[in-house]
Amino acid sequence: MKKTVKQMIAVLLTMLLVCSVMPLAFAYTVSSGTVGSLTWTLDSNGTLTVSGNGAMPDYDQLPQEKFPWDAYRTQIKKVIIGTGVTAIGNSTFGRFGALKELSIANTVQTIGDYAFYDCDSLATLSVPNSVKAIGVDSFRDCSNLKNVSLGNGLEELSWRSFASCESLTSLTIPGSLKEMGFETFEDCTSLASVTIENGVKEICKYAFWGCSNLRTVNLPDTLETIMGAAFFQCGYLNNVTLPEGLKEISAAAFCECTSLESIKIPKSTRIVDYMSFNGCISMRDFTVLNPSCLLNGPFELVPEDKGAEVRLDYIWSVPAYSHYKLTVYGYAGSTAETYAKATNKAFTVIEGEPAANEFLSTLKAAFSNLLAMLKPLLDNVINALKGLFGAVNSNPQQPADPQQPTQPAQSGSETSQTIDAAGLLSKLAEMFRSLLAQLLQANTTATV
């Protein structure tokens, strides 16, 4: 009897277990419908699947415009964007607090504005190579997003697209990126490592502003511009290698990077603007390899009359810092030396000559060739003119016509005038030769 009871209890428990697992194994449809030319289905496991061919329509961020699955936002745990879908519309999944998983097919080309804004349970994101553009605030405030993989076809990151993703720890930006909007990764406070691949030419304003844990940044050889406040207040950033080819460091680019100890400005850099390194209180070595680089107060505040040129909104509250540890390194007679003396900073001369600018070297060679070609040509012209005047001097005078009255002699005959002109040309020829010789000598010995 006892054995039979135990068997019945065991059967009941097994049935209960099977019944509890069945909904997971055999999910059923909760709701479905159409969205534009596409269809959508939500199952009992909380998985929303969008299928079909074409783009998802955009929805306004405001509450009055609802997307079809809005009533289920607290139940949706996973979103699958199926093959054939070409665009994820604006505001389609914003503030879906239960969303943990996202799968995007490799047919999607754009992710709209606010598409996944404030999805604070989303932990992983893989953007396929087909995606070319990610919209404004698209993943902003996804506070639990730890792993992001950006596809190699990505060309545009819009404003604040990943701002305030507080759990993001590392990031690789593909070389395909052509445009980066302001504040793209602002306040990603756990971000420790960033690699930007070759192909990227510009880092936008405020790109990594407030990434207070950022320690390592790998910049590409193709980089030309670091825009204003790009690394503003990255307090743990202690080592940055600026690539040769970098042309401009804009205002406040590394302002208040308090752990940065040294920086080497490449010979390609033409301008380092106001406040670029203001507040880098650990900075000891500031080396400038371009002897003619324009240094617009890189450790000083923006002058009031220059505020309109800088066009940064958040830097006016930054105080003036004392950079007492700082030594400026540069070539003798360079703008670095002038800047150091003007701002009472220690200056150390870099030994040797500055590397020649490639453009100026090419220009110098072309000028040398031009002078070498002109010299024999001018010699020939001058010799021909001298011969012509000599022939005029040697011509015998024609006999006077007896019927013509004799003209009184004038002071300074034509012959004497001709001789004077020939002498003048001879002197000019010598002057030309001397000038050309000096130019050639100066061109040979000049240093850029």
Residue 51 is inside which H or E element, if any?
A: strand 47-51
* pLDDT, position 373: 61
Q: Are residues 437 and 339 in the same domain?
A: no
Tell me the mean pLDDT in the region 51-59: 95
* Residues ≥6 apart with Cβ < 8 Å to 66: 59
Closest by Cα among 197, 207, 266, 247 to 231: 207
Q: Are residues 292 and 347 in the same domain?
A: yes
Residue 395 scores a pLDDT above 60: no
Strands 156-157 and 262-265: unpaired
Express the helix, strand and coil content of the chain in percent, nearest 5 each.
Answer: 25, 20, 55
Which range, of 10-24, 211-225, 374-388, averages the lowest pLDDT? 10-24
How far apart, in whole angstroms, are the C-alpha atoms of residue 157 and residue 378? 60
Residue 105 belongs to some domain of the structure: yes
Containing structural domain, residue 60: 23-155
Q: Are residues 142 and 209 in the same domain?
A: no
How far apart, in whole angstroms, are the C-alpha atoms of residue 376 and residue 382? 10
The band of 362, judged by pLDDT with boundaries at 50, 70 and 90, is: very low
Average pLDDT along the chain:
83
CB 99 within 8 A of CB 79: yes
Residue 175 scores a pLDDT above 70: yes
Q: Are residues 349 and 425 in the same domain?
A: no
Considering its fold, how many domains does the chain have in total? Answer: 3
How far apart, in whole angstroms, are the C-alpha atoms of residue 188 and residue 167? 7
Residue 240 belongs to some domain of the structure: yes
317 versus 89: which is more confidently predicted? Answer: 89
Tell me the mean pLDDT in the region 132-137: 98
Q: Are residues 371 and 276 in the same domain?
A: no
Residue 16 belongs to some domain of the structure: no
Residue 314 belongs to some domain of the structure: yes
* pLDDT, position 194: 98
* pLDDT, position 364: 52
How far apart, in whole angstroms, are the C-alpha atoms of residue 172 and residue 146? 13
Q: Are residues 325 and 372 in the same domain?
A: no
How far apart, in whole angstroms, are the C-alpha atoms of residue 277 and residue 232? 9
DSSP string, 186-244: TT-TT--EEEE-TT--EE-TTTTTT-TT--EEE--TT--EE-TTTTTT-TT--EE-PPT
Q: Where are the beta strands (DSSP E) in 74-213?
A: 78-81, 85-88, 101-104, 110-111, 124-126, 133-134, 147-149, 156-157, 170-173, 179-180, 193-196, 202-203
* Residues ≥6 apart with Cβ < 8 Å to 218: 194, 195, 196
Tell me the mean pLDDT in the region 270-289: 96
Residue 399 belongs to some domain of the structure: no
**Most distant CA atoms of the chain, gap in Å:** 171
Q: Are residues 274 and 338 in the same domain?
A: yes
* pLDDT, position 221: 97
400 versus 8: which is more confidently predicted? Answer: 8
* pLDDT, position 322: 87
How far apart, in whole angstroms, are the C-alpha atoms of residue 295 and residue 273? 6
Q: Are residues 209 and 312 in the same domain?
A: yes
Q: Are residues 344 and 384 in the same domain?
A: no
* pLDDT, position 370: 59
Q: Are residues 134 and 34 in the same domain?
A: yes
* pTM of the full structure: 0.74
Q: Choose one of 87, 120, 155: the last residue of a domain.
A: 155
pLDDT tens, 330-357? 999 999 999 999 999 999 999 876 654 4
Q: Are residues 317 and 388 in the same domain?
A: no
Residue 160 belongs to some domain of the structure: no
The band of 88, judged by pLDDT with boundaries at 50, 70 and 90, is: very high
Which range, of 124-133, 187-196, 305-314, averages the lowest pLDDT? 305-314
**Pair of tokens at residue 154:** 């990505």
Q: The domain spanning residue 187 has which CATH number?
A: 3.80.10.10
The band of 230, judged by pLDDT with boundaries at 50, 70 and 90, is: very high
The C-alpha angle 230, 234, 235, rounded to 5 degrees, equals 155
How far apart, in whole angstroms, are the C-alpha atoms of residue 69 and residue 232? 40
Q: Choose one of 355, 378, 407: the last residue of a domain.
A: 355
Q: Are residues 190 and 274 in the same domain?
A: yes
Q: Choose one of 155, 188, 213: the last residue of a domain.
A: 155
Residue located via tokens 């006077």? 400
Residue 69 belongs to some domain of the structure: yes
Which range, of 133-147, 153-167, 331-345, 387-401, averages the lowest pLDDT? 387-401
Which range, of 98-107, 158-167, 359-368, averages the lowest pLDDT? 359-368
* pLDDT, position 199: 98
Percent of the chain with pLDDT over 70: 69
Residue 4 belongs to some domain of the structure: no
Tell me the mean pLDDT in the region 404-427: 49
pLDDT tens, 177-200? 999 999 999 999 999 999 999 999
* pLDDT, position 304: 72
